Amino acid sequence: RYAFGCVILTPDGQEIRKSGSGSDSAGVAIRNVAGEMLGSMTAVNWAIENKYPAVEIRYDYEGVEKWVTGVWRAKTPLTSKYAAHMQEAGKKVLVLERRSHIGGNCYDEPDEHGILIHNYGPHIFHTGIEEVYQYLSRFTDWYVFGHEVVAKVGDRLIPVPFNLNTLHMVYEKEKADALEQKLIAAYGEGSRVPIMKLRENEDPDIREIAQFVYENVFLKYTMKQWGQKPEDISPEVTGRVPVLVSYDNRYFQDKYQGVPKEGFTPMFERMLDHENITVETGVDCKERLRFEENQIYFDGTPFDGEVIYTGALDELFDCQFGRLPYRSLRFDFEHYEKESYQGHSVVNYTVSEDFTRITEFKYLTGQKNTDGTTIVKEYPFAYTGAEGEIPYYAILEPKNQELYEKYRALAGGLPHFYLLGRLAEYKYYNIDAMTKKAMELADAIMAENTKR
């Protein structure tokens, strides 16, 4: 066993004594420290229950503070549980969600045939960022797979991103071998070359490959997706799908990739399942929040806590400088009473059709024993702000960025007001980058709080 005793001194002169003990083996193994951690948690819990806004802890072992502030990394299950408890203690979070469900565009649910679908288009998690993977893994196991995409070009399905396998499919052997050597000599084995860079190469043979890829993979798809040619959109966008000088058919090269084993929605449910977190769906935050002369009002009273806004920034300010442009999508779901529709999770239509791609969900989620199969076709269009339309993609152009900055300036003076996400930041984030940004913001808020 290990035990603690603590004396709590209140500002009005009361002296409260508490003591307790534990007998779990992890605690017993470090019993002098375990007692101090238990005593500190008891004092903090008591202060919260009795509505004291702050508590000053006098302790002996420096880990009692340093694990919580993050100066020391809490490495064992016991110390990290302690750190999490102390960091989360007393912090209350209210999530206001305009839609009728949580999870944003990652939301997934079984359709009427029992097939798990991604209601807002295919979402595949992929990351090389260890802490993002570890963090999300607290809330889910994974269905792990190397995501592969093929493009329908004429009667053929060719691997995308265009890679050395694709090269050997579209050119006869001798030519393909020669081109492979040229690509390796120019860029190095395993390199990732954005199509717009490849097109600048001075070697006519490499430019021929670039032209093939441009015409058969990028031009029509990009025209559908953005209403613009590849050369007229931000290179960041086409750069997401570079030409790969390797035989790797995967769409992403990140170490971790897959989807949450039971779906994204259960992962978010577990994330939000905390006694200090309240979720209200079907609530527009503008019904509850008001901004006046750099003061935030919540339900009519001044609010000094942190507000993290993840919606479209122009809408928050009634689009007073005009709407921020976005691309939207219409999703057409179709169900077929057959085992398989296309045999692939995603087929891109890069030279024909009005839709950009077809996703067949069972190949994306790993769902077994389904009754039939469900697919979705994506039809892009320009977002107008009309009722029911959803802004999916910011359009990364200097003039749009300038307009965004005008809105950001309006938000700039609000204390403890943070913008986070694709919409609020007007950025093209992947799930992992977004998770990292959210983790960094949470850390920054925690650090700011310990100072406040």
What are the residues binding ligand UDP (CB under 6 A)? Answer: 151, 160, 217-218, 221-222, 225-226, 237-238, 240-241, 348, 350
Q: Residue 102 in contact with residue 265, Cβ under 8 Å?
A: yes
Q: Which is nearer to ligand UDP, 407 or 426 (CB)?
A: 426
Q: Which is nearer to ligand UDP, 241 or 259 (CB)?
A: 241
Q: Which is nearer to ligand UDP, 105 or 191 (CB)?
A: 105
User: What is the nearest approach in angstroms of ligand UDP to the Cβ of residue 144?
Assistant: 19
Query: Which three-class secondary structure string do you get for the chain?
Result: CEEEEEEEECCCCCEEEEEEEECCHHHHHCHHHHHHHHHHHHHHHHHHHCCCCCCCCCCCCCHHHHHHHCCCCCCCHHHHHHHHHHHHCCCCEEEEECCCCCCHHHCEEECCCCCEEECCCCCCEEECCHHHHHHHHCCCCEEECCCEEEEEECCEEEEECCCHHHHHHHCCHHHHHHHHHHHHHHHCCCCEECHHHHCCCCCHHHHHHHHHHHHHHHHHHHHHHHCCCHHHCCHHHHCCCCEECCCCCECCCCCEEEEECCCHHHHHHHHHCCCCEEEEECCCHHHCEEEECCEEEECCEECCCCEEECCCHHHHCCCCCCCCCEEEEEEEEEEECCCCCCCCCEEECCCCCCCCEEEECHHHHCCCCCCCEEEEEEEEEECCCCCCCCCCEECCCHHHHHHHHHHHHHHHCCCCEEECCHHHHCCCCCHHHHHHHHHHHHHHHHHHHHHC
Q: Which is nearer to ligand UDP, 237 or 245 (CB)?
A: 237
User: What is the nearest approach in angstroms of ligand UDP to the Cβ of residue 333?
Assistant: 17
User: What is the nearest approach in angstroms of ligand UDP to the Cβ of residue 350?
Assistant: 5
Q: Which is nearer to ligand UDP, 4 or 252 (CB)?
A: 252
User: What is the nearest approach in angstroms of ligand UDP to the Cβ of residue 30?
Assistant: 47
Q: Which is nearer to ligand UDP, 45 or 234 (CB)?
A: 234
Structure tokens at 223: 């025209």
Q: Which is nearer to ligand UDP, 200 or 280 (CB)?
A: 200
Q: Which is nearer to ligand UDP, 362 or 422 (CB)?
A: 422
User: What is the nearest approach in angstroms of ligand UDP to the Cβ of residue 149?
Assistant: 7
Q: What are the φ and ψ backbone dihedral angles of 142, each rounded to 5 degrees?
A: -125, 145
User: What is the nearest approach in angstroms of ligand UDP to the Cβ of residue 410?
Assistant: 29
Residues 260-277 as b/e (b if ≥16 CB within 10 A, e otherwise) read bebbbbebbeebeeeeee
CA distance 350 to 221: 5
User: What is the nearest approach in angstroms of ligand UDP to the Cβ of residue 263?
Assistant: 19
Q: Which is nearer to ligand UDP, 217 or 316 (CB)?
A: 217
User: What is the nearest approach in angstroms of ligand UDP to the Cβ of residue 322?
Assistant: 24
User: What is the nearest approach in angstroms of ligand UDP to the Cβ of residue 229?
Assistant: 10
Q: Which is nearer to ligand UDP, 67 or 107 (CB)?
A: 107
User: What is the nearest approach in angstroms of ligand UDP to the Cβ of residue 390?
Assistant: 14
